[in-house]
Amino acid sequence: MGTDEEPGVVGRRFDVADAAPVLLDAQGLVTGWTREAERLLGYPAPEVVGKQLADLLTGPDAERAPEVLERCRMDGGWAGLLTARCKGGPTARCMVRITAAEESRGPSRWLALLSEVSGGPGWDMSRTVLEQMVADSPIGIAIVDTDLRFVWSNEALARYGGAPAEQRLGLRLADVQPGLDSAAIEEQMRRVLATGEPVVGYEHVGRVRAAPLRETAHMMSFTRLEDERGRPMGVYYTVVDISERRRAQQRLALLDRAGEQIGRSLDLMRTARELAEVAVPALADFVAVDLLEDVLRGAEPAGPTATGPGEVPLRRAAHRSD
């Protein structure tokens, strides 16, 4: 059977260790209560068993209870956020997963698993879900230890070349990507390890093994990983290719510079020099500007000359190299 989940709710596996089980009958009556549920909501079993699920929820969510049960019957289960009433007046915002409790005889029943999320960002996601999130991410992600050696990386990072994830283990960045300024990048990692302050939006330009003949630009962010005592374990970092964005910015900057520096006078030789100066090195390593002799004299270009069919005399007006 499938399980219907509310939009925006990320599924996760519930364990007894972090969820309170409650048993419901087909009509939504509480038929089984656990010590975990009592610790979460404060009610002992005699005060709850026989009540409707809606009786344990706050107003808006209590009104949703029949819809939730109907979706359970149609889809085989449900997952989402509900606000429960606690004994004595407070409320508890809970992630709830309801799944069928299959039985060979008798009416169908539902197992509801409640996990409080008050004060937190959401569900404490299982390792399986977290691994899926980072492993399947389109962003390159890696983890290095305190010696800056790879201990984990995802498939997206392998697209930059160097080596697949299993071959990176134990290697430093310079071993994997010799075309990058690994010293500068590792300096960012050491800074994060030492201070605990993340580095966000660090831009780096270099040649990766996946594209060794051209420079590519990357935006990187670094975060320190700590153990339960707050001691640094390594650095988690992400990599995004921003080469196209950087080239677009360079083109715009080149156009702005050309508009400001080319054609400031009617002197053709000066304009030729300005053109060469703007083009190198932003556009080319070497630029030569050759003009027709007639144009340099201020005349209209003449037709073919005695120098040969299709040949015209040119004069070097300017040149520049990087």
Last residue of a domain, one of 64, 87, 116: 116
The answer to whether residues 278 and 233 belong to one domain is no
Find out whether 209 and 161 touch, Cβ atoms under 8 Å.
Answer: yes
Counting the structural domains of the chain, the total is 3
β-strand pairing of 4-5 with 77-85: parallel
Using only C-alpha atoms, the chain has a radius of gyration, in whole angstroms, of 34
Domain range for residue 301? 261-321
Burial class (CB in 10 A: 0-12, 13-18, 19+), 138: exposed
Question: Which pLDDT tens digit goes with each residue over 230-242?
Answer: 889 999 999 888 8
Domain assignment present for residue 9? The answer is: yes
pTM greater than 0.85: no
Query: Six-digit token pair at 162?
Result: 């160097």
Question: Which pLDDT tens digit goes with each residue over 65-97?
Answer: 999 999 888 888 888 889 999 998 888 888 888
Amino acid at 70: E
Average pLDDT, the chain: 81
Find out whether 289 and 319 touch, Cβ atoms under 8 Å.
Answer: yes
Alpha helices in the chain (DSSP H): 35-41, 59-75, 127-135, 155-158, 165-168, 173-176, 182-195, 243-261, 268-279, 293-296
Neighbours of 274 (CB within 10 A): 20
pLDDT score at 186: 94
The answer to whether residues 95 and 184 belong to one domain is no
Domain assignment present for residue 128? The answer is: no
- CA distances from residue 65 to 27, 172, 264, 281, 299 in whole angstroms, order as listed: 10, 55, 75, 68, 89
Tell me what the mean pLDDT of segment 104-127 comes to: 69
Q: In which band, very low, low, confident or very high, does the pLDDT at 15 lie, cut at 50, 70 and 90?
A: very low
> Which DSSP state fits 52?
B
Question: Which pLDDT tens digit goes with each residue over 223-279?
Answer: 999 887 888 999 999 988 888 877 777 788 778 887 887 877 778 888 888 888 888
Last residue of a domain, one of 87, 116, 145: 116
Find out whether 287 and 279 touch, Cβ atoms under 8 Å.
Answer: yes
Place of tokens 């508009």: 259
Return phi, psi of residue 54, to 5°: -60, -30
Question: Which pLDDT tens digit goes with each residue over 166-181?
Answer: 888 889 999 988 888 8
The answer to whether residues 22 and 95 belong to one domain is yes
The answer to whether residues 10 and 105 belong to one domain is yes
The answer to whether residues 87 and 36 belong to one domain is yes
The answer to whether residues 17 and 82 belong to one domain is yes
β-strand pairing of 20-25 with 140-145: unpaired
CATH number at residue 227: 3.30.450.20
Domain assignment present for residue 124? The answer is: no
